[in-house]
Amino acid sequence: MIARLSDMPGVVYRRLAAILLFGVLAGAVHAQTNLDATAWLQRMVSSTQRLSYSGTFVYRSHDREETSRITHIAGPTGVVERIESLEGSPREIIRANDELTCYLPKEKLLIKQRSVSSGVFPAILPESMASIAEFYSLRKGEIGRVAGLESQQLILEPRDAFRYGYQFWVEMTTGLLLKARTMGDAKNILESVAFTQIQLGQAPDPSSVRSAYSGKTSGWRVQHVQAAEPRPEDDRWVFSSVVPGFRQMAGLRRHIHKDGPGALQTVFSDGLAAVSVFVEPAGARSERDGGALRYGAIRIYQRVVADHLVTVVGEAPMVTLQRIGDGVELRK
């Protein structure tokens, strides 16, 4: 299934959406320069989905660059936001809490799905803070400016070869993430995303999060990516190889086509990076030897096991994906 999803124009675009879904700590009115690096990171975690804002951000990865606009409204019932591409083929994402709707007008395609998690990147969980300290070295960097706002840099360097490094720039007064970089083994920048303009402190008009294509999708193909609980027979798949720090977070079954077999999806995370493992019947692809692909910081690894295609997708070095993928076997 994921092999087909990776060819879909909206996949990388959804990645851009995920990297910016941070809120701020409610009521913060003063810059807190005396906080240590761990406190800054905890502040980002605790401040998720507290602020309404709008702005323009740029995603860069190798020779790829794309500018998008985001409108994010947080309220008592949750978060609603709209992200639209300002370059290339028109694309638009509407998110209402964990419900995602992707509009691809050029393809006349409407994709609806429920996200596995909140979509926040990094997917830091309160219980994962100790794991982050074990597998990452965290320190404060310099104070700089992003989109005209003063920000504190946070630097996370991996302690092993199974994960990337990260750099975050956090707005001093509110705690909003303004800029993020994913760093490779050689300290090279694999991808980055940063606001170039942002408006804080004033809730956007609710009409600004409505799709520009509402009422204009007659004749479009509608694709539902549905999630369901794993089947009893899914328990026969085991993961015999465990990468240090990565633990199982969720397991579900994904369906793109109503009559299709779907794919078992298992998510692993070390608190910052997330890796998904998909297992589906290989069908006509049973003779392929698998392989590896890359999209910016995202790596994709595939292999065939017992007439099933195992696909591992995640923002982690290929050695991590290979170790996880090679450990997927049928229970004996």
Instruction: Determine how β-strand 177-183 pairs with β-strand 189-199.
Output: antiparallel
Position 267 in a domain: yes
Flag whether pLDDT at 225 surpasses 90: no
If asked whether residues 309 and 179 sit together in one domain, one would say no
pLDDT of residue 132: 83
Q: So what's the pLDDT on residue 184? A: 92
Q: Is the pLDDT of residue 1 over 60?
A: no
pLDDT value, residue 185: 82
180 shares a domain with 79: yes
Give 125-148 pLDDT, tens digit per residue: 445 666 788 899 999 999 999 999
User: Where does the pLDDT of residue 248 fall: very low under 50, low under 70, confident under 90, or very high at 90 and above?
Assistant: confident
Q: Based on the domain organization, do 165 and 270 belong to the same domain? A: no
- Name the token pair of 125: 């969980």
Please enumerate, as own/partner, the contacts of 148-157 that have beta carbons within 8 Å and a separation of 24 or more. Answer: 149/178, 149/198, 150/31, 151/178, 151/179, 152/33, 152/40, 154/37, 154/40, 154/41, 155/37, 156/132, 156/272, 157/183
Q: Is residue 53 located within the same domain as residue 89?
A: yes
In tens, the pLDDT along 285-317 reads: 544 455 667 777 899 999 999 889 999 999 999
Q: What's residue 287's pLDDT? A: 45
Domain coverage including residue 134: 2-209
- Residue 233 clears pLDDT 80, i.e. is over it: no
Tell me which residue has tokens 């990468």. Answer: 243
Share of the chain above pLDDT 70, in %: 79
In a domain, 214, yes or no: no
State pLDDT tens for residues 3-61.
333 333 344 344 444 433 333 322 333 344 557 888 888 777 665 567 888 999 999 98
CA distance 222 to 101: 10
Residues 204 and 80 in one domain: yes
> In the structure, what pLDDT confidence band is assigned to residue 68 with cuts at 50, 70 and 90?
very high
Q: For residue 156, is it left (φ>0), alpha (ψ between -120 and 50) or beta?
A: beta
Same domain, 201 and 229: no
* 215 belongs to a structural domain: no
Query: Bigger pLDDT: 34 or 220?
Result: 220
CATH of the domain at 257: 3.30.200.100
The structure tokens listed for 240 are 């015999």
Q: Which of 9-23, 179-193, 272-286 has the highest mean pLDDT?
A: 179-193
For residue 299, what pLDDT is reported?
93
Residue of 275, 272, 254, 274 whose CA lies nearest to 264: 254
Asked whether residue 173 falls in the same domain as residue 273, the answer is no
CB contact at 8 A, 153 and 37? no
Q: Cα 123 vs. chain centroid, distance in angstroms?
A: 8
In terms of Cβ atoms closer than 10 Å to its own Cβ (0-12, 13-18, 19+), residue 277 is buried
Residues 6+ apart with CB under 8 A from 102: 10, 13, 14, 91, 92, 93, 110, 111, 112, 113
